[in-house]
Amino acid sequence: MALSVFDLFSVGIGPSSSHTVGPMRAANRFAAQLRASGVLPRVRGLRVDLFGSLAATGRGHGTLTAVLLGLEGVDPETVLPEEIERALSRIDGEGQLQLADGAGAVGSEAQSPITVPFREADIVLRPLTVLPTHTNGMRFGVTDAEGELLVEETYFSVGGGFIVREGAEAQVQDRLESTLAVLPFPFTTGAELLRYSSETGLSFAELMLENEKALRPEVEVRDGLCHIWDVMEACKNSALTRTGVLPGGLNVRRRAPEWHRRLTAQDPYRDPQYWQEWINLVALAVNEENASGGRVVTAPTNGAAGIIPAVLFYATHYAPGAVAWSEAERRTAISDFLLTAGAVGVLYKEQASISGAEVGCQGEVGSASSMAAAGLAQVLGGTPEQVENAAEIAMEHNLGLTCDPIGGLVQIPCIERNAIAASKAVNAAKMALMGDGSHHVSLDDVIVTMRETGRDMSEKYKETAMGGLAVSVSVGIVEC
Ligand code: SF4
């Protein structure tokens, strides 16, 4: 379910929204449930099964540690990377978990956490078993002192940090329908967005804002969007201070600080001829931060987290007149960009998927590129038809993009791919603005095509690290 811009842009930790943020949320939810139901004091044992893609690339994506921390009550939106390090070394040293500890266990009452023994073998990886609902499945079970099963629940991480509990699919659908009912402009297709625009004269950004205002006050919406941009900026800035290699054993060197130093020397006055180098840098920096488990904005996923910050950087630095914008004008441009990108993101979430494990990288990087193109076309003054066209062009030329991360790490090809997709988004927006908005393939057509292409794609190319670059390139993983 994604009807709010804040569903699509949420703050979390890297390296993956579906394999890190989602599993942490699911484990946290399960632990909170144990506490709320009063079962917690009887728990003495724990077992976790990870299925399909979560098991295949979970180690490289940090799924195992995310699950442990979630079970302790850690929340991906608030946890600091340094707290993660501390908690993991404590669990490792003591060989036990503090189940449902801390305020992260939503709905908890004041109860002490329960200490349960934990060994690595308590997390069982089942890469060849794909549960019917979704490939990113995880099952949590707890036992009592006699080893009897007390509670068992299965969750699915369905992309972008969204989770669904098995058996609760109907509730999610109900929630979706009841939320749609309160929105002034309920939409799930591009055709509906265009129709509302033509009936009201409102842009996509304004339509999305009206919907957001039905859920929270306008000032909260605007402040929230600026906060999202601040976190994106902080994420990029943090990466610029870090050197060395990224974690995971692939020995991928962090390039952002060196590129930043060279680019600043080359282009001290932000000459527009260097726009591409700058957006490459922003995308690279954000994705390096994500790959190292840092704080990022899921946009709409972590693997694709660098594209929207890079294109929004372009909008705020290179849009005509941007250098002279007042603070209020800058905030409006940021809101308009993110609201438009969010409206397009809703279309992908509702009609197709933003999960690499479901439809390949076209669903992650492709969707982000399309959302960014729409946001930029909006800020550059595009009509609703041109904005829709920009989103369509960007996805059309990402169709078929596979997910084949080397070593199951969100590093190669992911980091550079974000930079390439950001440039593609800028180009798509520019191409759309050169036209009058009329075009052959509608955005809805291309979204459905992406979904069907994803269905036809071999599982080898859906975040399993069993095909493509992941098997063609021989690189040793150095255990660290
Ligand atoms: S290849 Fe694309 S979908 Fe796969 S992990 Fe990398 S960014 Fe995500």
CA 75 to chain centre: 15
Query: How much is the pLDDT for 101?
Result: 83
- Confirm or reject: Cβ of 385 under 6 Å from ligand 1: no
Q: Is the pLDDT of residue 21 over 80?
A: yes
DSSP state, 300? Answer: S
- Confirm or reject: Cβ of 410 under 6 Å from ligand 1: yes
- Confirm or reject: Cβ of 403 under 6 Å from ligand 1: yes
> Is there a cis peptide before residue 186, judged by omega within 30 degrees of 0?
no
Average pLDDT of the residues of the chain: 93
* Host H or E run for residue 432: helix 414-434
Query: How much is the pLDDT for 111?
Result: 60
Q: How far is the CA of 422 from the centre of ligand 1 (A)?
A: 15
- In this structure, of 177-186, 235-244, 259-268, 365-374, the range with the lowest mean pLDDT score is 177-186
Q: Which residues contact 223 (CB under 8 A, 6 or more apart)?
A: none
Q: Which two tokens stand for residue 266?
A: 């080359």
- In this structure, of 84-93, 311-320, 329-338, 417-426, the range with the lowest mean pLDDT score is 84-93
Strands 137-143 and 123-126: unpaired
- Exposed e or buried b per residue across 238-260, where buried means at least 16 C-beta atoms within 10 angstroms of its C-beta: bbbeeeeebbbbbebebbbbebb
Query: How much is the pLDDT for 82?
Result: 81
Summarize the confidence of residues 417-432 as an average pLDDT: 98
Q: Which residue from 16, 9, 4, 65 is spatially nearest to 361, judged by alpha carbons?
A: 16
- Confirm or reject: Cβ of 408 under 6 Å from ligand 1: no
Q: Which two tokens stand for residue 462?
A: 């859906």
Looking up tokens 């979390």, which residue turns up? 12
- Confirm or reject: Cβ of 465 under 6 Å from ligand 1: no
- What is the per-residue pLDDT across 207-219, written as a single tens digit (0 to 9) for each? 999 999 999 999 9
- In this structure, of 81-95, 281-295, 359-373, 463-477, the range with the lowest mean pLDDT score is 463-477
Query: How much is the pLDDT for 476?
Result: 58
Compute how many other C-beta atoms are within 10 angstroms of the C-beta atom of residue 440. 6
Query: How much is the pLDDT for 107?
Result: 42
Q: Is the pLDDT of residue 231 over 80?
A: yes
Q: For residue 475, what pLDDT band results from cuts at 50, 70 and 90?
A: low
CA 222 to chain centre: 21
Q: Which residue from 455, 384, 403 is spatially nearest to 206, judged by alpha carbons?
A: 384
- Confirm or reject: Cβ of 454 under 6 Å from ligand 1: no
Residue of the CA atom closest to atom 8 of ligand 1:
303
- What is the per-residue pLDDT across 178-217, written as a single tens digit (0 to 9) for each? 777 789 999 999 999 999 999 999 999 999 999 999 999 9
Query: How much is the pLDDT for 105?
Result: 41
* Strand partners for 115: 98
Atom of ligand 1 nearest to the CA of 404: 1
- Confirm or reject: Cβ of 46 under 6 Å from ligand 1: no
Q: Is the pLDDT of residue 102 over 80?
A: no
Q: Which residue from 358, 359, 365 has its CB within 8 A of the most atoms of ligand 1, so it is best to mutate?
A: 365
- What is the per-residue pLDDT across 390-411, written as a single tens digit (0 to 9) for each? 999 999 999 999 999 999 999 9
- What is the per-residue pLDDT across 26-71, written as a single tens digit (0 to 9) for each? 999 999 999 999 999 999 999 999 999 999 998 888 899 999 999 9
CA distance 305 to 283: 8
CA distance 388 to 373: 9
Query: How much is the pLDDT for 229?
Result: 97
Q: Is the pLDDT of residue 477 over 70?
A: no
Q: For residue 480, what pLDDT band results from cuts at 50, 70 and 90?
A: very low
- Confirm or reject: Cβ of 372 under 6 Å from ligand 1: no
Atom of ligand 1 nearest to the CA of 364: 3
CA distance 437 to 207: 19
Whether residue 339 contacts residue 208, with contact meaning beta carbons closer than 8 Å, is answered with yes
CA distance 436 to 37: 58
Q: How far is the CA of 326 from the centre of ligand 1 (A)?
A: 37
Atom of ligand 1 nearest to the CA of 301: 8
Q: Is the pLDDT of residue 104 over 50?
A: no
Using only C-alpha atoms, what is the Rg of the chain?
A: 22
- What is the per-residue pLDDT across 121-174, written as a single tens digit (0 to 9) for each? 999 999 999 998 899 999 999 999 999 999 999 999 998 899 999 988 777 777
- Confirm or reject: Cβ of 365 under 6 Å from ligand 1: yes
Q: Is the pLDDT of residue 1 over 80?
A: no
Query: How much is the pLDDT for 108?
Result: 45
Burial class, 234, CB count within 10 angstroms (exposed 0-12 / middle 13-18 / buried 19+): middle
Q: Is the pLDDT of residue 349 over 50?
A: yes
Residue of the CA atom closest to atom 4 of ligand 1:
403
3-state secondary structure 52-92: HHHHHHHHHHCHHHHHHHHHCCCCCCCCCHHHHHHHHHHHH
Q: Which residue from 14, 11, 478, 9 is spatially nearest to 239, judged by alpha carbons?
A: 14
Summarize the confidence of residues 102-107 as an average pLDDT: 44
Query: How much is the pLDDT for 151?
Result: 97
Query: How much is the pLDDT for 85?
Result: 86
Q: Is the pLDDT of residue 236 over 80?
A: yes
